[in-house]
Structure 1
Amino acid sequence: MKTPILLTGLSLIASLAALAEFQVAWAEKIKGTTAIDSTSADVDDDGDLDVCLIHLVDEGTVLLNDGSGVFTQSPTAAPLPAAGAAQLGDLDGDGDPDLFLATHLGPCKVWLNDGSGNFSDSGQSISGSYSRVAVSLADLDGDNDLDVVLPANSPMSGSTVIYTEVWLNDGNGVFTDSGQQLGSAFAQSSTVFDVNGDTFPDIALSINGQNKLWINNGSGVFTLSATQLGGGTTFDIQFADLNGDTFPDAFVADGFNPPFADDNEVWFNDGNGTFTNSGQSLGDGYSFCVVLTDLDNDSDIDAVVGNNTTQPNEVWRNDGTGTFTLAPVTLGINNAIDIEAADFDGDNDTDFFLAINGYPSELWNRVPVNQGGPIKDSGQRFGSSSASCLAQGDFDGDNDIDIAMGNGGGIVRILRNNGAGQFRDTPNPLPNGFGNNNGAIGAGDFNGDNFIDLLVVNNPRGGNADLADRVWFNDGTGRFTMSPQLIGAENGGCVAIADVDGDNDLDAIVGNAPYGFGAGQNRIYRNDGTGTFTPYDALGTGNTRGIAVGLINNDAHVDIVVGSIDLPTTIWFGDGTGNFTDSGQSLGTGNTRAVLLGDFDGSPGLDVLCANSSGGSKLYTNSGSGTFTESAQVFTGNNTTSAAAFDLEGDTDLDLWFGRGFFSNPDQLWTNDGSGSFVLETPTYGSQTTEAVIAADFNGDGDMDIFVASQAGDHILWAQGAAAVQAYAESFGLTGTDTEPFEDPDLDGVSNYEEYAFNMNPNLADSAVIGNFATATKGLPVFRVEVNGSNRAFVAETIQRIGADVIDYRLEAATNLVFGAPPAGITVTSNPFNANYQRTTYRYDIPSPPPAHFGRFRVLYSP
Structure 2
Amino acid sequence: MEFCSFALDALMTEGHLMKSRFNAPVAWLTSGLFSVLSGCSWADQEKSGSDAFDILTDKPTEFFADATSTNVPIAPSLHATDSVFIDVDKDRDLDVVVSVEHGVNRLYLNDGQGRLVEQPGAFGKGIHDSEHVRAADLNADGNMDVVFVAEADEIHQLFLGDGKGGFTDASERLPQTSQGNALALGDVNGDKLPDIVIGSTGETAYAPDAKIIPARNLLFLNDPKRPGYFINATKTHLPDTNDQTEGVALADMDGDGDLDMVLASPAFPNRLLINDGSGHFKDASSQLDLRVPMESREVQVVDVNQDGYLDIVFFNITSNNFGWDKDPQTRILVNDGKGHFRDETAGRLPAHKFSSWGGTVVDFNHDGNPDLLVGAIDVPGFVPLQVRAWQNDGKGQFRDVTGDVMPGSTVGRSWSMGRGDLDGDGREDVFIGGWGTQARLLLSDTNAYEATRPAVTPLNSPKAETQ
TM-score by length of 2: 0.65
In structure 2, how many angstroms separate the alpha carbons of the residues matched to 1:204 and 1:382?
35
In structure 1, how many angstroms separate the alpha carbons of the residues matched to 2:409 and 2:217?
33
Tell me which residue corresponds to 1:364. 390
Tell me which residue corresponds to 1:248. 259
The aligned runs of 1:279-678 (5 Å cut-off) are 279-280=285-286, 282=290, 283-309=292-318, 311-327=328-344, 328=346, 329-331=348-350, 332-357=352-377, 358-367=384-393, 374-379=397-402, 380=406, 382-384=409-411
Unaligned runs of 5+ in 1: 3-23, 33-62, 156-161, 257-261, 387-711, 715-743, 763-863
The 1:122–1:242 alpha-carbon spacing in structure 2 relative to 1, beyond 3 Å, is same
**One-letter amino acid matched to 1:362:** R
Tell me which residue corresponds to 1:131. 129
In structure 2, how many angstroms separate the alpha carbons of the residues matched to 1:749 and 1:166?
40
The 1:342–1:126 alpha-carbon spacing in structure 2 relative to 1, beyond 3 Å, is same
The 1:345–1:752 alpha-carbon spacing in structure 2 relative to 1, beyond 3 Å, is farther
**One-letter amino acid matched to 1:324:** F
Given that 1:165 and 1:182 are in contact with CA atoms closer than 8 Å, whether structure 2 keeps it comes out as no
Structure index of larger Rg: 1
In structure 2, how many angstroms separate the alpha carbons of the residues matched to 1:104 and 1:69?
30
In structure 2, how many angstroms separate the alpha carbons of the residues matched to 1:28 and 1:95?
37
Tell me which residue corresponds to 1:153. 151
1:204 positional shift: 0.5
SS of aligned partner of 1:104:
strand
Given that 1:31 and 1:383 are in contact with CA atoms closer than 8 Å, whether structure 2 keeps it comes out as no
Cα deviation per residue 1:632-654 (whole Å; 9 max; x = unaligned)? xxxxxxxxxxxxxxxxxxxxxxx
Cα deviation per residue 1:555-583 (whole Å; 9 max; x = unaligned)? xxxxxxxxxxxxxxxxxxxxxxxxxxxxx
Given that 1:207 and 1:231 are in contact with CA atoms closer than 8 Å, whether structure 2 keeps it comes out as no
In structure 1, how many angstroms separate the alpha carbons of the residues matched to 2:342 and 2:217?
24
1:338 positional shift: 1.7
**One-letter amino acid matched to 1:306:** F
In structure 2, how many angstroms separate the alpha carbons of the residues matched to 1:167 and 1:308?
32
In structure 1, how many angstroms separate the alpha carbons of the residues matched to 2:99 and 2:33?
30
Tell me which residue corresponds to 1:274. 280
The alignment status of 1:177 with 2:206, answered yes or no, reads: no
Cα deviation per residue 1:749-802 (whole Å; 9 max; x = unaligned)? 99967996xx9x99xxxxxxxxxxxxxxxxxxxxxxxxxxxxxxxxxxxxxxxx
Cα deviation per residue 1:564-622 (whole Å; 9 max; x = unaligned)? xxxxxxxxxxxxxxxxxxxxxxxxxxxxxxxxxxxxxxxxxxxxxxxxxxxxxxxxxxx
Tell me which residue corresponds to 1:89. 86
**One-letter amino acid matched to 2:310:** I
Given that 2:332 and 2:349 are in contact with CA atoms closer than 8 Å, whether structure 1 keeps it comes out as yes
SS of aligned partner of 1:304:
strand
Cα deviation per residue 1:664-693 (whole Å; 9 max; x = unaligned)? xxxxxxxxxxxxxxxxxxxxxxxxxxxxxx
In structure 2, how many angstroms separate the alpha carbons of the residues matched to 1:345 and 1:65?
14
Given that 1:312 and 1:334 are in contact with CA atoms closer than 8 Å, whether structure 2 keeps it comes out as yes
In structure 2, how many angstroms separate the alpha carbons of the residues matched to 1:111 and 1:749?
22
The 1:80–1:302 alpha-carbon spacing in structure 2 relative to 1, beyond 3 Å, is farther
The 1:243–1:347 alpha-carbon spacing in structure 2 relative to 1, beyond 3 Å, is same
The aligned runs of 1:725-804 (5 Å cut-off) are none
In structure 2, how many angstroms separate the alpha carbons of the residues matched to 1:148 and 1:131?
16
1:84 positional shift: 2.8
In structure 1, how many angstroms separate the alpha carbons of the residues matched to 2:357 and 2:186?
21
The 1:754–1:147 alpha-carbon spacing in structure 2 relative to 1, beyond 3 Å, is same
1:165 positional shift: 2.0
Cα deviation per residue 1:452-506 (whole Å; 9 max; x = unaligned)? xxxxxxxxxxxxxxxxxxxxxxxxxxxxxxxxxxxxxxxxxxxxxxxxxxxxxxx
In structure 2, how many angstroms separate the alpha carbons of the residues matched to 1:171 and 1:749?
34
**One-letter amino acid matched to 1:233:** Q
Q: What is the CA RMSD across the aligned residues, in angstroms?
A: 3.5
Given that 1:235 and 1:254 are in contact with CA atoms closer than 8 Å, whether structure 2 keeps it comes out as yes
Given that 1:362 and 1:382 are in contact with CA atoms closer than 8 Å, whether structure 2 keeps it comes out as no
Cα deviation per residue 1:495-550 (whole Å; 9 max; x = unaligned)? xxxxxxxxxxxxxxxxxxxxxxxxxxxxxxxxxxxxxxxxxxxxxxxxxxxxxxxx
The 1:166–1:270 alpha-carbon spacing in structure 2 relative to 1, beyond 3 Å, is same
Please point out which of 132, 140, 143 is paired with 1:142. 140
**One-letter amino acid matched to 2:349:** T
**One-letter amino acid matched to 1:138:** A
In structure 1, how many angstroms separate the alpha carbons of the residues matched to 2:455 and 2:361?
32
1:253 positional shift: 0.7
TM-score by length of 1: 0.36
In structure 2, how many angstroms separate the alpha carbons of the residues matched to 1:334 and 1:252?
22
In structure 2, how many angstroms separate the alpha carbons of the residues matched to 1:204 and 1:113?
28
1:344 positional shift: 2.0
**One-letter amino acid matched to 1:384:** V
The 1:121–1:753 alpha-carbon spacing in structure 2 relative to 1, beyond 3 Å, is closer
SS of aligned partner of 1:132:
strand
**One-letter amino acid matched to 1:227:** H
Unaligned runs of 5+ in 2: 3-29, 39-57, 202-214, 319-326, 378-383, 414-435, 439-448
Given that 2:363 and 2:369 are in contact with CA atoms closer than 8 Å, whether structure 1 keeps it comes out as yes
1:125 positional shift: 4.6
Higher strand share: 1
The 1:382–1:363 alpha-carbon spacing in structure 2 relative to 1, beyond 3 Å, is farther
The 1:31–1:383 alpha-carbon spacing in structure 2 relative to 1, beyond 3 Å, is farther
1:296 positional shift: 1.3
The 1:385–1:124 alpha-carbon spacing in structure 2 relative to 1, beyond 3 Å, is closer
Tell me which residue corresponds to 1:214. 220
In structure 1, how many angstroms separate the alpha carbons of the residues matched to 2:60 and 2:372?
14
Please point out which of 209, 232, 237 is paired with 1:227. 237
Given that 2:221 and 2:230 are in contact with CA atoms closer than 8 Å, whether structure 1 keeps it comes out as yes
**Identity of paired residues, percent?**
23
1:91 positional shift: 1.0
1:152 positional shift: 1.2
Tell me which residue corresponds to 1:264. 270
Tell me which residue corresponds to 1:624. none
Tell me which residue corresponds to 1:823. none
The 1:64–1:94 alpha-carbon spacing in structure 2 relative to 1, beyond 3 Å, is farther
Given that 2:122 and 2:166 are in contact with CA atoms closer than 8 Å, whether structure 1 keeps it comes out as no
